[in-house]
Structures are given as structure tokens and as C-alpha cells.
Amino acid sequence: MSRLIAVSNRVAAPKAGKSAGGLAVGVLSALHEQGGVWFGWSGRTTESEPGDTKSSRSGDIEFVTIDLNTADFDGYYNGFSNDSLWPLLHFMVGYFTFRRSQYAAYTRVNEFFARRLVDVLQPDDLIWVHDYHLFQLGLSLRQSGIKQPIGFFLHVPFPNFDVLRVLPCYPQILRGLAAYDVVGFQTERDLSSFQDCMVQPEIGGAVHDDGTIEVFGRRFRADVFPIGIDVAECQRVAVENSRHKQVERLTGSLGGRKLIIGVDRLDYSKGLELRFRGFETLLESYPSERGEVVYLQIAPPTRTGVRTYDRIRQGLETAAGNINGRFAEMDWMPIRYLNRGYSRELLMAILREARIGLVTPIRDGMNLVAKEYVASQNPKDPGMPVLSTLCGAAKELKEAVLVNPYDRQGVADGLQQALAMPLNERRARHAAMLSILEKNDIHAWSRRFVEALRSA
């Protein structure tokens, strides 16, 4: 049986007490299913030329890592990936910057990944590349003579052409994607945007009736593969940790009040300050909820030291302070804002305790927290997600309370609707959403993509 070679910017070997992100959960699930190699950056940089790959093994999975040159990493990751691609892919052009030197570093790192990966490959391997950091890896592998199937999955949104062409090097990005045999997206909207970019006159591609795209002298498949979660594992972990000491302390401190929870990385795409103001509008518009609800926002820091993210953290702290100052009583604090990370085990148990899962990013490829919230609930007395229409999960979780995150009153009304929802309605909506999650779980996602890659 051929090996699966998963490639991503960073290799995240499982560690006790650490909460894995959506990409890591998806990659590990695929590799656990059939064994293989996870290849990527080690997390270490060096001032000199990086050395050879390093390898370790856990069960059927081999973890192969490379170090990166410090200057190249800064241009590739902090620069082009996060200052150019991330805001552009999330339709947030106001945060976009571009420097040719950073794009050159991005290209060098993609070429370096390819050179080191070639030494790891065997003739019948299937190669599955993940996310925007490695748009051009497939092209570099083709130029190195690699013939076997190479797939690519984008975990974040893909913008329409009018947004993409803000990037001066967008034709090179599209040419890089055309080097793959299968290109996967989270939603039909993302796929449609990608197809539209490929058929622009300056690109010259064509979309065939079978869904394949012909461009740059190649023909490849592009399709929708919405990523899921391990539903049974979420349920098991949530129940097993329900008696965790910190969970009991949290529920005890609520004093019978209803818990609203948000769990997000500290990033501008998550719309956290808008979310805080939506909760503030709930307290303004529905005075009966004052003293009856507590909003807990967990927002682990990300990209610390980057000025944009420092401003986000400061803005959230200010907003939380303002809202608590307006509405708090001696025995009630409306917002609890925690700027730190927690283990996956603890998070699943906390999600289960929450009456509302508040998930309102202003743009997101999928958002697995929304799915994990639904899966973690007690089906006899489930909570309800209040979910942004601008994230991929809204395409599947149609029974959630759907809101526009820019509409503060709409968010407040959605929160009130979920808080007042009768038990029978909550049960029915939860059952419908859980059925979708079980059908489109993480295992179905990985199998479907790998099958598409094999057929390529």
C-alpha cells in the first residue's frame, strides 16, 4: 500500500496537554488511518544554511522535520504568508502589505521544502500538501522531476478575482496551484472563486464539464472537501472530563447562570471586538439577561510581538473593561476574558457546559470550534451555536442561529433567541446538526480526498 506524505508549514507532533488546531487534527487523522509521513518545519531557525532532515516515529506515523534559515523564515512566514496572503485570503485588504523581498523568501522556502522532501519520497507515495504557506511547493516538486500524484488542500477561504489581483504575484500563485493534481477547498463559494480566477483572460484557463480545469499546460481536478471533526472522540473527551476540577470550579462560580462561550485564536479575522460589542448590545436591549448570563471568551495569543496582534489584544482588554464597568454587579461579572490556551480535553468539557457557543468570525474557511461545540453537547439538554454566516461551517450547520457578525443588534437578537429557545426545539436542531457532522466527519474528509488523489 502506498504511503501518504502529508506536508504542512509546521509539523505538530501530539503533546500531552496541548490543544491541536484544525489542520493538525485533520493531518493526524489521515495519517493514523493508513500510516505515512508528516513533513514540515521543525519550529527551529538557524543563522546558517539549514542542515538535513530529522526524523522521529510514533506508531505508524513518521515525523520528518527541517530547520529554516532565520532571514528566510521571517520573509516567508511573518512577511509574505501573514502580511500578504493571510489578510488577502480573508478578504481583509486593509491589513494587506506586499514586499518583493518577502515573496522571494517565500519562493526560496517552498523550493527548499521541495529539495528536502524529494529525498524522503518513494515512487508510489501520495503527496498531500496543506495550506497557503506552500502554494508553490507542487510546482517546485514538478520541476524536481516528481511524477506521482500531488494534492493540495486550502484550509482558509479563497478570495474572488477582484481581491486576489491586489497581490502583484497572483499569476505565479495560480500557476503554482495548477501544478497539483487535486486542489481542495472548504466550500462551493471558494471553489467558484478559484475557477473564476483561472478563466480570467490574463490567465487563459478553461473549466470542463467534469469539473477539471485546464490551464498552464496542465489539467487537474478542483473540488469541495469540507473538513470535519472526530465526532465520537469529541463526545468521549467532553464526557470523560466533565468532572475535571477546573470545570467544576467554573460551573460552581456561575451560580446557576447560563454560560456563553467563545474559543478563538487572537486574530483579526475572528471579529472578537465586534463579538464583545454584540454581547454588550444584548445587555442593553434585553435587560432581563443582566445578571443571568456570563460570557467566557478564551483567546490564546498568536503571533506574539507582531504589532497588529498586540493592538487586537489591547482593544479586547479595553472593550471587556468598558462592558464590565457598565454592567457588572458585586456578585456578577458579565465578561470573563482569558488570553491563554487550555488543553483540548478541558476545552471539550467546558464547551459541553455552555448554553451558547458564540462563533462569529468575520471570515473563516470552516471553523471547527463550531462543530466541536455541537458534538460536545448533551443531546438531552443541548446548547445552541450562534454562528456567523461568513464562515464555512454555516454551510453545514444550517440549524444553528445564524447571524451577521457586523450587525451588533442582529448578534444580540440571535443570542436572545438561543437563550430563550425551548428544549424540544434545541433537541431537534441539535439532532439535525449532529447527523450532518457524523456524515461529514474527519475520516470521511480524509478518505474522500485521498481517494480523489489516488484516482488522479
Question: Which CATH number fits the domain that encloses residue 141?
Answer: 3.40.50.2000
- 156 and 204 co-located in one domain: yes
Q: What integer is the mean pLDDT of 375-393?
A: 98
- 339 and 451 co-located in one domain: no
Euclidean distance between CA atoms 428 and 430, whole angstroms: 5
Whether 162 is a known active-site residue: answer: no
- The string of DSSP codes covering 150-182 is EEEE--S----HHHHTTSTTHHHHHHHHTTSSE
**Confidence (pTM):** 0.95
For the chain, report the end-to-end CA distance as a whole number of angstroms: 16
- 97 and 176 co-located in one domain: yes
- 109 and 244 co-located in one domain: no
Residue 302: pLDDT band (50, 70, 90) is confident
| Pairing verdict, β 218-224 and 212-215 | antiparallel
- For 445, the grid coordinates are 474528509
Q: What pLDDT score was predicted for residue 14?
A: 61
Q: How big is the chain, counted in residues?
A: 456
Cα 286 → chain centroid = 33
Say how many domains are in the chain.
Answer: 2
Q: Which of 130, 133, 155, 430 is catalytic?
A: 155
- 427 and 342 co-located in one domain: yes
Q: Could you tell me the residue range of the domain that residue 426 belongs to?
A: 231-439
- 186 and 256 co-located in one domain: no
- 298 and 269 co-located in one domain: yes
Rounded to the nearest 10 degrees, the angle between the axes of helix 231-240 and helix 423-439 is 130
- 260 and 213 co-located in one domain: no
- 210 and 257 co-located in one domain: no
Q: What integer is the mean pLDDT of 130-137?
A: 98
- 312 and 357 co-located in one domain: yes
Whether 364 is a known active-site residue: answer: yes
| Pairing verdict, β 54-58 and 61-69 | antiparallel
Q: What pLDDT score was predicted for residue 399?
A: 98
Q: Which residue is associated with the grid cell 486593509?
A: 94
- 208 and 303 co-located in one domain: no
Tens-digit pLDDT profile for residues 9-19: 999 876 644 54
Q: Which of 72, 364, 413, 441 is catalytic?
A: 364
Cβ neighbours for 27, distance < 8 A, ≥ 6 positions apart: 6, 8, 12, 38, 130
- 256 and 343 co-located in one domain: yes
Tens-digit pLDDT profile for residues 397-449: 999 999 999 999 999 999 999 999 999 999 999 999 999 999 999 999 999 99
